[in-house]
A and B are shown apart, each in its own frame.
Chain A
Amino acid sequence: MTAPATAPTSEPILAVADLSVAIDGKRLLEQISLTLRAGERVAVIGPNGAGKTTLLRVLAGLLPGGETAVRWNGRPLGAWPRRDLARLVAFVPQLSERLMPCPVYDFVLLARYAHGERWFSGADRRDRHAAWLALEAAGLTALADRDLSTLSGGERQKVLIAAALAQEAPVWFLDEPAAFLDYRQELEVRTLLARLHREAGKTVVAVVHDLNRGALDSDRIIALQRGRLVFDGPPAALTDPARLRIIFETDFEILRHPVDGRPLVVTRESEADRPRADTAPTGPSDGERP
């Protein structure tokens, strides 16, 4: 394993020591140790069912199991009051989560909950200001009065991001922010996230499914397989077919982007499944048929 790419001088904001989680007797995470420093941009990758989303949820305190093994700013997760934790970590759920009908502005305003104990739900002027700024930053002011249920997938994803902005937490956890989005929407969301990371200095940890879309351009990649951490290092160390094969149990080829030269990975079918290039699709196959 390789050291994280960022400067190791700063104190870690998150330290995970030997985290194992089992729910209903099913072991979901096993002996995970890692640290996270302010300003890092981390992608969590791995095959389906590897525990990526579970890891994010446990670290954010949304699932039980990390009360003692997970420490935020040196304090065990179990000792954090929810509101305090929400001012530190914002969680952006997967887009597939069903959301109740609710106007966009109200939804973003609700994310201000952690900023003060307000009985009878009086959002104050600061809250409204923060919600509006968040909508502006995400380029959503035109949609403020629309209902969530009437938005496209990309717009809804941006609303979720705007809400996390209004929450004003320095650390962001995102669960597949690009899933279910078409190319343009995905690029917009990815650009927005990169800008927030760069300009607002957010620490961003995202579960990413597609290595080419949001993983290889991060500072650091964490790979999980069957609940275990199998890789933690810079993307450059991951663009190696042998390594990828261990994680995904699939053959990969590494390409270079023709314009900017960044690495791209594509899967390769195994020899047995591949149609032979010298055979015409309609022609008789040589000797494969009985």
Chain B
Amino acid sequence: MTPRRWVLLTAVGAVLSLGLAPWFGAQPIPWEAIRHPGGQGTAEILLWQIRLPRVATAFLAGAALSVAGAAFQALFRNPLATPFTLGVSSAASLGAALHLRLGLAFPFFGLPDICLTSFLGGLAAILLVYGLTRLRGGFSTARLLLAGVAVSFVCSSLIMVVHFTSDAYDSFRLVRRLMGSLSASGPDTMWGLLPLAVAGALFLAAQAWELDLLALGEELALSRGVDGRRVRHRLFFATCLLESAVAALCGPIGFVGLMVPHLCRLRVGNVHRYLLPASFLAGGTFLTVCDTVARTLLAPAELPVGVITSLLGGPFFLWLLLGPRAHDLEV
């Protein structure tokens, strides 16, 4: 199959998942509900105010995480180097936790202001991780990943501190936010996520040629005219935008950005003008499906979707480390 066909296939998957997922859930919804978007009946409200925003949120979050992961994997030439593994998600969550704990509130172009604190946290983390990696000259993927793990641990501990100093009510709000669950998401979450996810993804897509060259090797990219520093900063910016929006609005959802773009790469190839849209669509589909499973598996109780993705992601990580393509990792 050509890369173009794969993109088409992921688009079909996206349409199917978006169209079907709202109909699954603890409470069955009659088909007629689709015809009355503004209806005040239980079924209409359930479909239009709860299920659809939730499914759309799941799709956008998965798409954002996946496309951000694809960018980092190309930039660092390693499938393990994703925003999640490099501590961006944890730091973004820490930013969000501080925002909640300190009760910050400020205008942010009509977007959820928690995303800005979260963004600053994520950006600080990646600059720190990258700076630490470069500290002793040269670049090593092992050092990058270890710095990411370290920053991730520190941020998790600091989130614990924030928890510890909160009262029961704030702590509960924090848990709800940072568990990696979509159960609290409503239309607001969707409308907050939509512009950030789309802007971040478009910004990454604009760097597709640079990503192609960087994936081939930094030296080759430089010699072809890529301004390594500037492009790296742009990619950091766009990726943190995507990652922090998800972390702030849905909590840290792990491994989507690791699994989906890597699998897409194996099928679609390394040409990012195909890989990025494919990752976006497949990531959205993947998280939509995971969330539907999370909602229905123990219905009426709900699992946090992050649990599902991590349960899948852990073994996938091991497969990357030990599987037939392990020699590609070059750690």
- List A residues 84-99 near B (Cβ within 8 Å): 84-87, 89-91, 93, 97-99
Q: Does B142 contact A (CB under 8 A)?
A: no
Q: Which listed residue (B206, B223, B226, B271) contacts A120, Cβ 8 A?
A: B206
Contact bitstring A89-133, B, C-beta under 8 A = 1, else 0:
111010001111111001100110110001111000000000000
Q: Which listed residue (A24, A86, A107) contacts B225, Cβ 8 A?
A: A86
Chain A residues closer than 8 Å to B217, beta-carbon distance? 93, 97-100
Chain A residues closer than 8 Å to B220, beta-carbon distance? 91, 93, 97
Cβ-defined contact, B227 with A81, below 8 A = yes
Q: Does A157 contact B (CB under 8 A)?
A: no
Query: Max chain A CB contacts within 10 Å: which of B220, B223, B226, B269?
Result: B223
Contact bitstring B88-103, A, C-beta under 8 A = 1, else 0:
0000000000000000
* A-B pair number, CB within 8 angstroms: 81
Cβ-defined contact, A102 with B216, below 8 A = yes
For the complex formed, measure the closest distance between the CB of B282 and the CB atoms of chain A, giving whole angstroms.
19
Query: Max chain B CB contacts within 10 Å: which of A81, A82, A106?
Result: A82
- List B residues 185-235 near A (Cβ within 8 Å): 205-206, 208-210, 212-213, 215-217, 219-220, 222-228
Cβ-defined contact, B269 with A101, below 8 A = yes
Chain A residues closer than 8 Å to B330, beta-carbon distance? 98
Q: What CA separation (Å) do A97 and B210 show in the bound complex?
A: 19
Cβ-defined contact, B209 with A118, below 8 A = yes
Cβ-defined contact, B216 with A111, below 8 A = no
Contact bitstring B132-150, A, C-beta under 8 A = 1, else 0:
0000111000000000000
Q: Does B77 contact A (CB under 8 A)?
A: yes
Q: Which listed residue (A86, A87, A93) contacts B219, Cβ 8 A?
A: A93
Q: Does B244 contact A (CB under 8 A)?
A: no
Cβ-defined contact, B137 with A24, below 8 A = yes
For A167, the closest partner residue in chain B by CB is B224
What is the number of residues of chain A that contact chain B, defined by CB distance less than 8 Å?
35
Q: Which listed residue (A82, A84, A87) contacts B226, Cβ 8 A?
A: A82
Chain A residues closer than 8 Å to B137, beta-carbon distance? 23-24
Chain A residues closer than 8 Å to B177, beta-carbon distance? none
Chain A residues closer than 8 Å to B224, beta-carbon distance? 86, 110-111, 113-114, 167
Cβ-defined contact, B273 with A121, below 8 A = yes
A97-B223 contact in complex given A110-B209, A110-B213, C-beta closer than 8 Å: no
Interface class of chain A by DSSP: mixed
Chain A residues closer than 8 Å to B66, beta-carbon distance? none
Cβ-defined contact, B225 with A97, below 8 A = no
For A118, the closest partner residue in chain B by CB is B209
Q: What CA separation (Å) do A24 and B135 show in the bound complex?
A: 11
A113-B213 contact in complex given A101-B270, A121-B272, C-beta closer than 8 Å: yes
Q: What CA separation (Å) do A108 and B210 show in the bound complex?
A: 14
Chain B residues closer than 8 Å to A121, beta-carbon distance? 208-209, 212, 272-273
Contact bitstring B21-48, A, C-beta under 8 A = 1, else 0:
0000000000000000000000000000
- List B residues 221-276 near A (Cβ within 8 Å): 222-228, 269-273
For the complex formed, measure the closest distance between the CB of B221 and the CB atoms of chain A, giving whole angstroms.
8
Chain A residues closer than 8 Å to B212, beta-carbon distance? 106, 110, 121
Q: Which listed residue (A61, A118, A167) contacts B222, Cβ 8 A?
A: A61
Q: What CA separation (Å) do A197 and B206 show in the bound complex?
A: 36
For the complex formed, measure the closest distance between the CB of B206 and the CB atoms of chain A, giving whole angstroms.
5
Chain A residues closer than 8 Å to B205, beta-carbon distance? 120
Q: What CA separation (Å) do A85 and B206 show in the bound complex?
A: 22
Cβ-defined contact, A62 with B222, below 8 A = yes
Query: Max chain A CB contacts within 10 Å: which of B225, B226, B269, B272?
Result: B225
Q: What CA separation (Å) do A106 and B275 show in the bound complex?
A: 14
For the complex formed, measure the closest distance between the CB of B239 and the CB atoms of chain A, giving whole angstroms.
18
Query: Max chain B CB contacts within 10 Å: which of A99, A100, A119?
Result: A100
22 contacts between A and B (CB under 8 A): A23-B137, A57-B219, A83-B227, A89-B223, A93-B223, A98-B217, A99-B217, A100-B270, A101-B270, A102-B269, A110-B213, A110-B216, A111-B224, A113-B213, A113-B226, A119-B206, A120-B208, A120-B273, A121-B208, A121-B209, A121-B272, A121-B273
A residues with a Cβ closer than 8 A to B are 23-24, 57, 60-62, 81-87, 89-91, 93, 97-103, 106-107, 110-111, 113-114, 118-121, 167
20 further A-B contacts with Cβ under 8 Å, apart from A84-B225, A87-B225, are A24-B136, A57-B219, A60-B223, A83-B225, A85-B225, A93-B217, A93-B219, A97-B220, A98-B217, A100-B77, A101-B270, A102-B269, A102-B270, A102-B271, A111-B224, A113-B213, A114-B225, A118-B209, A120-B273, A121-B208
